[in-house]
Structure 1
Amino acid sequence: MNTHHAFPHPLGATLTPDGCNFSVHHSSSFPLSLIIFNDDGTYNEHPFTEEYGSIKYTFIDNITKDTAYGFKIIQDKKALLLLDPYAKALKNTPHYDVPYTAEQSWVLAQSLVVDDTFDWQETPKPMISRSETILLETHVKGFTLLNPKVDTKVRGTYLGLADPANIAHLKHQGITSIQLLPVAACMHEPHLLEMNMVNYWGYNPISFMAPDPRYARNDAVTELKTAIRELHKNNIEVILDVVYNHTAEGGDGGVTFNLKGLDQDYYLHHHGKYTNYTGCGNTLDITHQPSLNLVMDTLRYWVEQYHIDGFRFDLAATLGREYDQFNPNNAFFKAVAQDPILQKVKLIAEPWDIGPNGYQVGQFPDGWNECSDKFRDTTKSFWRGEQNYLKSMATRLMGSRDLVSASRWPHKLPVNYVSYHDGFTLQDLVSYKERHNLANGEENRDGHGDNRSDNYGVEGPTDNPRVIALREKQKRNMVTTLLFSFGIPHLLAADACSHTQQGNNNAYCQDSDISWVNWDLDETALEFKRWLSDMIQARQTHMVPVINAFSGTSRSKQKVAWYTPEGSNMTHADWHGAESLCLHLNIYDGTKELLILINQSNIPTRFELPKPKQHSRWSLVCNTQHTQVTSKHAVVDYSLSPLSIAIFNAE
C-alpha cells in the first residue's frame, strides 16, 4: 500500500502504472473497508487510509486490469459487500435468489478494475443535425437475436449491433441514430425473480457506468465500444436511454446494493420514508451533491470513454425536482448546460414522472428535446377516426408550437412518435383494441389502458385481405404524419419488420419472442419495410429543408397557409367538424414548397390545389392509399381516397 499516490478524485477505481486508486463517497454509520479479490476467489481486506470530506480513498500497489473488488460494510451484524457506484464493469451478471442475503452479496457485488484504453481508430463522431435525425429505438438483444443475416456468434449482443448485416439494414432504412434501451447494468425486481422472469427492458439500474454483461460474449466494455466505433464508421449515432430517477434498491425495506449502504441521502425522503415519484420504490435526490456528482460523472464517462452521441432520460422530470416542485433552472440543468463535454451531445427528455407536478412537457431548458405524448395521442386518435381532432392534428404537424416556440428550433424540436417501447408496436396499434398482457403474470392489470388503437373488425392476426389492407394503410398514415411533421421522428425498430407483440403493451419482462424482432417477413411486411425506407429518404429530401427554414430567426420569412378542399382559406368555423384540409408550406416565396393533403373522412375528397409560387405544377411524393413513393404530377386538383394523406413537392 502506498498512501503517497492516493487521490480523492475521480471516484471509483482508477488504474495507474503502479497500481490502482480506490475512492468512494461514504457518510453512513456503517464501517467501510475495501475488499480485493484474488483469482482463486479468496480476498484481502484493506482500510481506507485517506479522507477528504466525505470521500474515503486509498491506493493499492500492483493492481491490474480485471481485478475484482468491492466495499464491505457491517449491516445488522453481517458483512455485506457493496457494489461500487462508480463501477466500470461487473464481474458477474446481476442476479440473486430471493430474498437477497449478505452471503449472496459477495458474488453479486464484485466490480472489476477497468483499463479505459481503447483503439477508436481515429473514427469521428457523426454529429447529425437535429433536423436530419431519424431516431430508431431498439433493444440490444431483441434487435438482432433472430436476424438470420447476422452472424450466429454475435446475435443478441453488443457486437450484433456492429454486424455488417445489421449496419446494412440501418443504412438502407435511412436511420441516423439508434437509441438503445438501457445498457447500464440492471437488476431484476424481486417479484420478477420469484416468477423466474427478468426486467428485459433494463429500467432498474444497479450501476450507472457498467455496461450490462447480459449482452456481451466475453468483455462488455470492449464489445460495446467496438459496436459504437463500427456504427460511427457508418455515420450512425448511438443514443443511450439512461435511468437516473431511481435505482434497483427499491423503497423502504428494499435491498442494499450500494447507495443505501453508503449514504441514505442519495434518495429523496418524506417523513423518514423513501419518496416514490417513479413507481419503483425510491427517487434519486439530485439536490444532494454526491447524487448530482454521480449523475454528472457517469454522463461524462459515457461520452468521453464510449463516445456516446446523446442520452434519452427516463422520467426526466425527476432530475428537475426540488422535492414536490419542478425547477427548469435547478442545479442539474445548470450543470449540464455549462459542461463542455455534455454541451456537445443530444439530450432527450421523457418530460414527466408520477409525482406531484410531474407533467412538464414544454418546460425543459434550451438544449433539451422532449418526447411529445401529445403528438402520439393526437395522431392515433385522429387516424382511428375520432372527431374534432383536426385542429389538434394541425398543431402537432406544425411542431407543437403551443408548447415550444419555433424560435427555439432546431435545438428544441419535439421528439415525435407513435410507438415506443412502452405501448403497442405499430402493427399492434392496428391489430388490437385491448391489451393482452397475461404473459406478464399480473392478470392483465399492467400496461396502459388508453391505447387509442383499433383492430378494424378482427382482434389480432387475420387472413381477411380487406382488413389487412386497411391496417397497412393506417400504418402508412401514422408514419407519414410522423415523418412530415416538424420535429425529430422517433421510430420503433420492431415496426420496420411489422413485428407484433401479440397485443402485449407492457413487454418489460418478456425476454421471449414477444419482444425479439421477427425477421421472417411475409410479402406484406416486406412491402411496408421497403415503403418505410423510401419515405425516410423522402423526408430527408423534402421535409428537412422546410424544418431548417422554419427554425430560428429565418422562420418569419416563411409562409403557412391552411386550405379547405375547395381551395379557400380555412376560417374559424371550418376548423370545427371538418375532416379534410390542405397545408401549404412555402419557403422564401417559392424556393421550395410542400403541400400536405389530409382526408380523415370515409369518402374520397377532391382538393383544389393552390398554384405553386414559381412552378407550373406539383409533384406527388406519396399517397398512403398506395404502397409506393412516387413522382407523379398533378395540375390543379387531386382526388384523395378516404382515410389517406398525400404529400406534394414543388421546387
Structure 2
Amino acid sequence: MPFTVEAGRPWPMGSHWDGQGVNFAVPAMHAEAIELCVFDAEGRQETARLRLPGRSGDVWHGYLPGARPGLVYGLRAHGPWAPAEGHRFNARKLLLDPWAREIVGRFAWRPEHFGTDAQDNASHALKARVVATDDGFDWGGDRPPCTPLDRTVLYELHVKGFTKLHPGVPEAQRGTYAGLASDAAIAHLQRLGVTAVSLLPVHEHLDEERLALMGLSNYWGYNTIGFLCPEPSYASAGACPRDEFRRMVRRLHEAGLEVILDVVFNHSAETDEHGPHISFRGLDNAAWYRLRQESRALYENDTGCGNTLDIRQPRMLQLLLDSLRYWVGEMHVDGFRFDLAPVLGRGHHGFDRDGAFFMALRQDPLLQGVKLIAEPWDIGPGGYQLGQFPAGWLEWNDRFRDTMRSFWLGHPVHRGDFARRLAGSADLFHHRGRAPGESVNYVVSHDGFTLRDLLTYEQRRNHANGEDNRDGHHHNLGWNGGAEGPTSDPAVCENRARLARALLATVLLSQGTPMIAAGDELGHTQAGNNNPYCQDNPITWIDWSEADAALLAFTARVIRLRREHHPLSPRWYSGFTDDEGVPDLVWFGADGEPLDAAQWHDEADRAVAAYIGAPGAAEGPLILLCNAGAADRVFALPAGRWRCLLDTSVPTPPADGAPALTSSHTVPARSLMLLDGCPLSAEP
C-alpha cells in the first residue's frame, strides 16, 4: 500500500497504534533528518522510505494513517560523521528503534553494519515490528504475591538452563518460558520453599563478535539490544515470546512466586568505537553514551563491555524508566536486579545516591513497591558502592559471600567478621537507617563456581571459554576438601558434603535476604568453569539426573526452619533489646562466656555461638552454634532444656524423641547447629 506521512505527535516514544494509524517518535538531538523505512512482513524487502516531517525539540515524529500492528520498520539517521565530536551518523545504516517491543531478524556480524562501511546493511539489520499496546491478553485476575522482605528467599536461575535437561518438563518446553512455568519446575520451586525467582537477563540480546567467530554465544545474556523485548530464543517453537513470558508470570504468581528480572542498564550490545551500528550509535551517539572528555571519539568503559550508557541524558533516562514501567505494567514482573548498578548513579562527579535515576524511581507510582536489587559495583572510578544505595534498595553483599567462604573454608578471617555479616552487616547498612533485609546474602551466584565446584576445585577450569583459562575470578576462597577435582575418597567427600550444608544453612539462617543459585541444592557442577557466560550447553544446564536428593531435602528443611522460626529477624541488629531490656542477640564462645576484643579478632578459633531471644514466631529462644574448625568442639549451653532443630554435620534431621540437651553439647567439625528450647534464665 502507498504510505503518506503526517507530522503526528512527539510522544510517546517508539511506535504506537491508535486504532487508525501508527505514530512514530524518535529522539535524535544532533540528527539533521530521520527516515522511516517500511519493510515487508519478514523484514527482507524495503517497501517505502519516508522522512519524519515533525520535529519537537530533540524528537522527530510522524504519523502513518492506516498503518497497523504487524508493520515492520527501521530508521535511518542523517547527520555528520565526526567521531572526534562524538557524532557517528551514516544514513546507509538501517537502525533499530530503541523503543522496539518486538525485533525482527537475528543479527549476524557483517562488515556493512559498521559505521564507515559504504554498503547498505538493510537486508541484514534488525528491524522493529509495531505491536499493539493493549492486545487483550487474558491475565485471569493475576495478582502479584507481594512477599514481605522478611519472608523473601531469592532463587537465581537461568530460564534455559534450569529446565533444558529436566525429564519432567515436556520436551517441547524444555529451556523455555513455558518450561519454567511447567508443573515439574513449579513443583521443585515450591518443594524447595523459595519465594522469588531472580532470572538472569531475559531482554533480547546479541552475541559478541568474538564469541560468534568461535562458535560460542553469550549464554548469560548480559549484552542487551532490546530493553522492551523478551528474548525470543527462550520461547517455545512457534510461540509469541511476549505471550509465553506473560503466561509464565501468571503461572508463577498462581504458585505464590515473585518474578525478578536481571536488567543490564549499564551498556548496550554495540561495544566500543570499533563496534557495529545497530541502534543508539547511529541515531545519536553523543546523546546515548558516555564519551571521554579527552577524546569524544572514545567511550568511557566503566562496564568492561566497551561502552557505558549515559544516564545523565534525559532520553536515556526515559528509555530505562519506560522499560521498567513496561515490564511491571504490561508484563507483571515484581522487581529488578540491576547489573553494575553504580552506572545508574554516575553523574558528572561520580556516584550520587540522589541521582536522577533514583529520584525518578522513588516518585513513580507504578514502580512503587517493586523489589529493587543492586549489584553495587562496576569497574569505573569509585565503582565499589556496597551499602551506598538509597534506602529501600537491596544490594548484593559480596562481603557476606567472602566472609562466609573464608570462615568455613579456612581462609584468614576472624569471628567478629563472621558475626557481623551473619547479623545483617550493620556496619554497611544500619548507619544510614537502612533495614537488615536490604543486604542480599549469598555465597554463590551465577558469577563464579557453583557450590559443589567451590568445594571441589581450587583452580578454575575455563579452557572451553577460549581465553587460555585467563578469564574468571582467580580469588575464589574455595577449598577442595583435600583433593583437586572429583574423587571417591570418603573423607574428602564427607568434608565437601558437610561444608556444602554448612554454607547453605549459613545463608538461609542469616539476617538479611538470602539468595541461593539454582542447582546448588542439587549438587550442580560446571566441571570447574567459574565463568561459563559463553557455555550454552551441558556445562551450565542443570543435570537433573544427577540431583543430590539428600541435599535438596536438607535445603528445603532449612528454608522451612527460616520461615517457621526466623532465627535472625530482619529487625534485629546486635544490641537491640526486648521489652524487658534483655538483649535479643548475644554472642559467646564455646565456653559459654562473652568474647573479649582479642577473642573476637582471633583468626585461629572458629567456634562461636549466638543466643537469640524472642525469635519472631517461635515460642522460645534459639541458640546457633557454629564450629568451622577441623576438630569437634564442646559448647557450654545456657541453663535450660534445648532441642536440636538442625545439625549440618548430617544430611538428615535429628531423630524424633532425641534427648534434650542441657549444660553442654558437642558440635562436630565444620558444622553448625540450631537449637530451641526453654531457658532457666533470661541470659546465657
Confirm or deny a common fold (TM above 0.5).
Answer: yes
Equivalents in 2 of 1:261, 1:342: separation in Å? Answer: 31
Equivalents in 2 of 1:255, 1:552: separation in Å? Answer: 53
Equivalents in 2 of 1:408, 1:618: separation in Å? Answer: 35
Residue of structure 2 aligned with 1:266, choices 288, 303, 317: 288
Residue of structure 2 aligned with 1:111, choices 128, 142, 145: 128
Residue of structure 1 aligned with 2:322, choices 271, 279, 297: 297
Residue of structure 1 aligned with 2:550, choices 509, 514, 527: 527
Deviates more, 1:31-40 or 1:363-372: 31-40
Contact 1:621 1:648 in 2 (8 A): yes
Residue of structure 1 aligned with 2:664, choices 617, 624, 637: 637
Per the alignment, residue 151 of structure 2 pairs with 132
Equivalents in 2 of 1:163, 1:123: separation in Å? Answer: 17
Deviates more, 1:161-170 or 1:591-600: 591-600
Contact 2:33 2:52 in 1 (8 A): no
Superposed counterparts of 1:34-433, under 5 Å: 34-39=36-41, 41-42=44-45, 43-73=47-77, 79-97=92-110, 100=113, 103-116=120-133, 117=135, 118-217=137-236, 218-264=239-285, 265-270=287-292, 271=294, 272=296, 273-323=298-348, 325-405=350-430, 408=433, 410=435, 413-433=438-458
Deviates more, 1:631-640 or 1:363-372: 631-640
Equivalents in 2 of 1:53, 1:552: separation in Å? Answer: 55
Residue of structure 2 aligned with 1:507, choices 524, 532, 544: 532
CA drift of 1:606 comes to 1.0
For residue 442 of structure 1, give the secondary structure of its aligned residue in structure 2. coil
Equivalents in 2 of 1:550, 1:427: separation in Å? Answer: 32
Contact 2:217 2:536 in 1 (8 A): yes
Contact 1:408 1:551 in 2 (8 A): no
Contact 1:177 1:236 in 2 (8 A): yes
Contact 1:95 1:187 in 2 (8 A): no
Q: 1:55 to 1:551 in 2, by over 3 A?
A: farther
Equivalents in 2 of 1:15, 1:620: separation in Å? Answer: 63
Write out per-residue CA displacement over residues 493-525 of structure 1, whole angstroms, 9 at most, x where no aligned residue.
Answer: 121221111100000000111111111126xx1
Asked if residue 33 in structure 1 is aligned to residue 46 in structure 2, the reply is no
Per the alignment, residue 593 of structure 1 pairs with 621
Deviates more, 1:310-319 or 1:101-110: 101-110
Equivalents in 2 of 1:44, 1:592: separation in Å? Answer: 75
Normalising by structure 1, we get a TM-score of: 0.95
CA drift of 1:7 comes to 2.2
CA drift of 1:554 comes to 8.1
Equivalents in 2 of 1:4, 1:94: separation in Å? Answer: 31
Number of positions where the alignment pairs a residue of Structure 1 with one of Structure 2: 644
Contact 2:108 2:124 in 1 (8 A): no
Contact 1:203 1:243 in 2 (8 A): yes
Contact 1:361 1:370 in 2 (8 A): yes
Q: 1:463 to 1:245 in 2, by over 3 A?
A: same
Per the alignment, residue 84 of structure 2 pairs with none
CA drift of 1:78 comes to 5.7
Q: 1:145 to 1:609 in 2, by over 3 A?
A: same
Per the alignment, residue 591 of structure 2 pairs with 566
Residue of structure 2 aligned with 1:623, choices 642, 647, 668: 647
Contact 2:341 2:374 in 1 (8 A): yes
For residue 538 of structure 1, give the secondary structure of its aligned residue in structure 2. helix
Where does structure 2 lack aligned partners over 5 or more consecutive residues?
A: 82-88, 679-684
CA drift of 1:393 comes to 0.5
Which letter maps to 1:222? D
Identity of aligned residues (%): 38
Where does structure 1 lack aligned partners over 5 or more consecutive residues?
A: none
Contact 1:559 1:585 in 2 (8 A): yes
Contact 2:435 2:570 in 1 (8 A): yes
Equivalents in 1 of 2:383, 2:500: separation in Å? Answer: 31
For residue 108 of structure 1, give the secondary structure of its aligned residue in structure 2. coil
For residue 596 of structure 1, give the secondary structure of its aligned residue in structure 2. strand
Q: 1:24 to 1:551 in 2, by over 3 A?
A: farther
Contact 2:101 2:130 in 1 (8 A): yes
For residue 206 of structure 1, give the secondary structure of its aligned residue in structure 2. strand
Q: 1:4 to 1:191 in 2, by over 3 A?
A: closer
Equivalents in 1 of 2:412, 2:92: separation in Å? Answer: 63
Contact 2:98 2:279 in 1 (8 A): yes
Q: 1:290 to 1:552 in 2, by over 3 A?
A: farther
Equivalents in 1 of 2:677, 2:38: separation in Å? Answer: 68
Equivalents in 2 of 1:129, 1:286: separation in Å? Answer: 30
Superposed counterparts of 1:466-485, under 5 Å: 466-485=491-510
Q: 1:277 to 1:427 in 2, by over 3 A?
A: same
Equivalents in 1 of 2:38, 2:550: separation in Å? Answer: 57
Which letter maps to 1:618? W
CA drift of 1:322 comes to 1.4
Write out per-residue CA displacement over residues 289-328 of structure 1, whole angstroms, 9 at most, x where no aligned residue.
Answer: 1111111111111110101100000000111111451111
Contact 2:6 2:53 in 1 (8 A): no
Normalising by structure 2, we get a TM-score of: 0.90
